[in-house]
Structure 1
Amino acid sequence: MQNRWLRGLLTIVFVVLIVSLLMEFFNAPTQQTSQTPYSTLISDTLTNQVTQATVEPATHTVLWTDRSGKHYLTVYPTGYTNELSNDLNDHGAVVTITKPPGTGIWMTVLGDVLPLIVVVGLVFFLVRQGQGGNRMMSFGRSQARLINESQQRVTFADVAGLDEEKQELEEVVDFLKNPKRYLEMGARIPKGVLLYGPPGTGKTLLARAVAGEAGVPFFSESGSGFVEMFVGVGASRVRDLFDQAKKNAPCIVFIDELDAVGRMRGAGYGGGNDEREQTLNQLLVEMDGFGVNEGIILMAATNRPDVLDPALLRPGRFDRQIVVHAPDLAGRIEILKVHTRNKPLASDVDLAVIAKRTPGFTGADLANLANEAALLAARERQKRITMANFIEATERVMAGPQKKTRVLSNFEKRVVAFHESGHTLVGMLVPHGDPIHKVTIIPRGMAMGYTLPVPDEDRYRITREQFLDKVAMSLGGRAAEQIVFGEISTGASDDLEKSTRMVRQMIMEYGMSDELGPITYGRRQEVFLGRDLMRQQDYSDEVAAKIDQAIRHVIVEQYERAKSLLMQHRQTLNRLALALLEKETLESDELRQIVFGA
């Protein structure tokens, strides 16, 4: 934008100069003149030979014509303008005196201001060009940002729900504060700390908290910031980054999204001489080469540790690897406390209930949830954020905003009511079903309605019976449609997809099939194009047919099971659907009252 403005300014200046030169050229006399001495002019004036004369005080020249019609140009001495003009007038010449300079604003601009503008513009242009050259020379410089204590400081108090991870990193903080104690014992602090886990779990926040606790400089760079289209630039930036870190040691160097530069070598096209691999080689050398990097701790974060080069993960490089999981129930409560401490909460807000309704949410998800609740409260011009705002925000994050303008016909509304009632009833009747907190037929996101099951506690393992109950509940909506209306609709497409995916995992990944046995089928393989991971077929076509048959058998069996449960409790199914048609939304207490009468 600045270069465009500068080019425009210079263009205007040059146009003005050219126009002024052209005007001067066209205004110049076109007669053939010859220059004569001042004495000739005086003698011809005294003998009345001069008929016309144009005196120009600015240049001290006279353009005059004699009686024969010839034109002459004469330079006269400074200070003789008036005396010469009077002599010419007295001897019969027609005298014209040009306007002296400085009497017009345009002459002032052209004569005084314009040259200054031109000089300043040219100097500015040359300086900018010089800076551009410096930028080209610094193309291989690291783009890492240095975050000092003077900037916003993050400490472990700002990181909630990651107690074990913080405990693992306290050694790093203590070493940076008191390195002498560890060196006296002959201990060597880990050179590298790798944080890996799902997106949004707080890996970057943990790294900044370590720097904040230790009170040392913190260099932050993205893995993609090293790799450029020009070979050698990435390696140069790695060298420059570590050179800067050595000057600021002790310090922390943090590389986010390490998989962008640290992927396994030889996995793609281009052999071993491409830019990314040269950058990785330089990073390996800087971490554990012949050079000494005392006081520099390299921290990195990634969502894909499985694609990293093995040389990065060996001892001496990333010695310590910390898994950052999604928080558990207690962790979610602590995270919600952090994200709501500066928000005005109403007395009915119960963070424990909110945490219980959000299993699987990461720290970033919970931050977004708290922000959505605050936006909803502000939209309603409330003074405090209520529990209703948090519940609505939870459902917006899970399923999308309500579609109040989407109007369903009475028949479609009945189909949706029985479909969701089928999910709810089967989910409440199976022995391992999660408690149903809410069911609604109000459209939200892409769904015409939804049923919200929430487990009582966080689970880290699922049994075969729990898998089968989930599949039966997922197929309950389609079964209810067939029982009540005698036909099926497209509303169960998502249910079928989820059921098929769960059963396929049961059989192929977890070996939960009596026919196929405790065997894992298909191995994960990284691919260069398309999705990052796919399951490569490492079994025969005969086994593939058996897998398809086993998947079909389980889904059909659970579908018939769901139909049987609904037919046995047909009256309860009708009561649920009628209550949904009347109220549109039913909470857990109302559901238990309708189904169990309690």
Structure 2
Amino acid sequence: MSSLSQKRRKFIFSDVSVFAPVKREEIRGAGALLATFDEVIERIRNFQFLTSLGLPVGGTLLLYGPKRTGKTYFSRYLATASNARFVNVRNFPKPEEDGREADLGAEDVRELYKLAREYVKKQNKPIILFYDEFDGVEGEALEELRIQIDGVEGRTDGIFLVATAAVDSADEIDSGLFGFGRALMEPIPFGYQTPQGKIDTLRYYVSLVDHDPNIDFESIASLFQDETSPAAIQQFVNDACTKAKLDEKKKSAKLTERHLVERCVRNLIGFEMDGERSPEDDRVVAHHEACHAAAGRFLGLPVQVVTILPRRSAELEGRGTTMVNIPDNRVVPLQTIENLVVFSLCGMIGQRYLGFPEDDGNAFDLLGANAAAQRLVGDNAQGALTRQRYGCIVFNRPRNEYSQPMRITEEQDVASIIKKAERKAESLMRKIGKKRLGRVAEALLKKKTILRSELDGLLK
């Protein structure tokens, strides 16, 4: 037996688990998906009984949708719940070409299915052949998969090909593998986890470790990106636990809200671990963000966390951020949008009020204020000049489709709103005062990141 054959046999038959199990209780906010998977699980788990009745029990299953929506996570759950062997096809040993492992070919697929049939027969146990990023599979490997699944070279009872594809529609996978006669069921679409699902997932994984009972799960989950998957949340909690143990230098360290927020800021939102700012620049950024944060709380905006950790993006490199949780997909009250214009300007206005020189960060404040003001005029018909000239309209088409006079009128309204907001921002900075702004800035310089509860305490 060749070395490659030995590797392949060991890969299929090894008792060492090649995937991290996922239990049902770990899956939150996905009741409909769980119900769909229950049917598949029953068929896989009971393949021996169904086979004894003369029914062919094997086939394919396609999970499709954007990346990081939990397709692999659910595939692992499928294997866990059905007590099936889980094999990642992309890790199947392949011959080398020019010093690197070759792509999966027809001969490799034949050998994979031959070993899978042998495994099912000897172990009396189902096997899931997991094929990630199936949308990239083509050529002879694809043709051979069709042959094997159709049972041309032997029955495939107990062998289940579960594939994932980052496509918007199952029709984009033109393989014929996942249609009637071959598939366990219709392809299953995946979308991003709901906000409540993220909260529940976070709460579950935190519940598995010793933690502070006063953690604000909703606030932390609100910092996650849409594409933050359940697996990413699990890893995020694990990272936070590791940080807690390193901070306290003991195994029994308790997980706190600060550990979670710091991990979230660093790992999930795109901040660099180490910045290269001078101490003088640090002070400017800290006072700039202190002005944003204090203004946000005084205006009643849901400020979640403030950080001076420098961002990765080229446009915002070296800047901090004040995170305000206002979902883009919900109707936002006009007063909130007006407050966002003021909030956006307060870093620039506050920096001036505190005696710091203007810098390039002020340009981003103006961009934010301009976007919020445009939202008032174009989407909510709040521009006085626009209403006077054109009536109560909204810009429900791209602005470049409107006439130049109308765009100029909108710009004049935006400028008027920003000028009014600037006066309000100046008044607000004086109301908050240099003493409170200084306390927030010093806390940022010391801790790098402060939570909403800490911010509120500093502003008293």
TM-score bracket, shorter-length normalisation: 0.5 to 0.7
CA distance in 2, matches of 1:204, 1:337: 19
Residues 1:279 and 2:145 are matched in the alignment: no
Deviation at 1:377, TM superposition (A): 3.0
Residues 1:301 and 2:164 are matched in the alignment: yes
Aligned 8 A contact 2:290 2:437 in 1 = yes
Deviation at 1:425, TM superposition (A): 4.9
- Structure 1 window deviating more from structure 2 (556-565 vs 383-392): it is 556-565
Deviation at 1:365, TM superposition (A): 3.1
Residue 41 of structure 2 aligns with which residue?
173
1:297–1:590 Cα change, 3 Å: closer
Deviation at 1:366, TM superposition (A): 2.5
1:306–1:277 Cα change, 3 Å: farther
Residue 352 of structure 1 aligns with which residue?
217
Provide the TM-score with structure 1 as the length reference: 0.53
Residues 1:328 and 2:198 are matched in the alignment: no
Residue 264 of structure 2 aligns with which residue?
394
Q: Aligned match of 1:578 in 433, 438, 441?
A: 438
**Matching of residues 19-58 of structure 1 within 5 Å:** none
Secondary structure class of the residue paired with 1:218: strand
| Letter aligned with residue 224 of structure 2 | P
Q: Aligned match of 1:569 in 400, 411, 428?
A: 428
Residue 113 of structure 2 aligns with which residue?
242
Residues 1:252 and 2:128 are matched in the alignment: yes
CA distance in 2, matches of 1:238, 1:499: 57
Q: Aligned match of 1:423 in 289, 292, 309?
A: 292
Secondary structure class of the residue paired with 2:279: coil
CA distance in 2, matches of 1:583, 1:482: 20
1:492–1:225 Cα change, 3 Å: farther
Residues 1:216 and 2:75 are matched in the alignment: no
1:554–1:451 Cα change, 3 Å: farther
Q: How many aligned residue pairs are there?
A: 417
| Letter aligned with residue 262 of structure 2 | E
Aligned 8 A contact 2:58 2:160 in 1 = yes
Residue 450 of structure 1 aligns with which residue?
321
Deviation at 1:384, TM superposition (A): 1.3
Deviation at 1:482, TM superposition (A): 6.1
| Letter aligned with residue 265 of structure 2 | E
Residues 1:192 and 2:60 are matched in the alignment: yes
Aligned 8 A contact 2:57 2:158 in 1 = no
Residue 304 of structure 2 aligns with which residue?
437
Residue 86 of structure 1 aligns with which residue?
none
Deviation at 1:171, TM superposition (A): 1.0
CA distance in 1, matches of 2:152, 2:407: 56
Aligned 8 A contact 1:227 1:234 in 2 = no
| Letter aligned with residue 208 of structure 1 | R
Secondary structure class of the residue paired with 2:304: strand
Secondary structure class of the residue paired with 1:384: coil
Secondary structure class of the residue paired with 1:297: strand
Deviation at 1:299, TM superposition (A): 0.9
Aligned 8 A contact 1:194 1:300 in 2 = yes
Aligned 8 A contact 1:475 1:499 in 2 = yes
Aligned 8 A contact 2:66 2:168 in 1 = no
Deviation at 1:172, TM superposition (A): 1.2
Residue 588 of structure 1 aligns with which residue?
452
Residue 386 of structure 2 aligns with which residue?
none
Secondary structure class of the residue paired with 2:12: strand
1:428–1:358 Cα change, 3 Å: same
| Letter aligned with residue 396 of structure 1 | R
1:483–1:330 Cα change, 3 Å: same
| Letter aligned with residue 279 of structure 1 | A
| Structure possessing the higher radius of gyration over alpha carbons | 1
Residue 146 of structure 1 aligns with which residue?
12
CA distance in 2, matches of 1:223, 1:548: 56
Q: Aligned match of 1:385 in 230, 244, 254?
A: 254
Deviation at 1:210, TM superposition (A): 1.7
Residue 179 of structure 2 aligns with which residue?
315
Provide the TM-score with structure 2 as the length reference: 0.66
| Letter aligned with residue 367 of structure 1 | Q
CA offsets per residue over residues 516-551 of structure 1, 9 Å max, x none? 854579xxxxxxxxxxxxxxxxxxx87798999899
Q: Choose between structure 1 and 2 for higher RCO, CA contacts under 8 A separated by at least 6 residues.
A: 2
| Letter aligned with residue 61 of structure 2 | V
CA distance in 2, matches of 1:144, 1:565: 71
Deviation at 1:174, TM superposition (A): 0.7
| Letter aligned with residue 162 of structure 2 | M
Secondary structure class of the residue paired with 1:437: strand
Secondary structure class of the residue paired with 2:88: strand
CA distance in 2, matches of 1:547, 1:244: 70
Residue 59 of structure 1 aligns with which residue?
none
1:232–1:400 Cα change, 3 Å: closer
Residue 240 of structure 2 aligns with which residue?
373
Aligned 8 A contact 2:60 2:160 in 1 = yes
**Matching of residues 71-150 of structure 1 within 5 Å:** 131=2, 145-146=11-12
CA distance in 2, matches of 1:500, 1:300: 45
CA distance in 2, matches of 1:290, 1:223: 25
Residue 385 of structure 2 aligns with which residue?
none
Secondary structure class of the residue paired with 2:188: strand
Residue 67 of structure 1 aligns with which residue?
none
Identity between Structure 1 and Structure 2 (%): 18
Residue 463 of structure 1 aligns with which residue?
331
Residue 388 of structure 2 aligns with which residue?
none
CA distance in 2, matches of 1:332, 1:322: 22
Structure 2 gap segments, 5+ residues each: 121-125, 382-391
1:208–1:394 Cα change, 3 Å: closer
- Structure 1 window deviating more from structure 2 (177-186 vs 235-244): it is 177-186
Deviation at 1:565, TM superposition (A): 3.1
Aligned 8 A contact 1:161 1:328 in 2 = no
Deviation at 1:476, TM superposition (A): 4.3
CA distance in 2, matches of 1:171, 1:363: 22
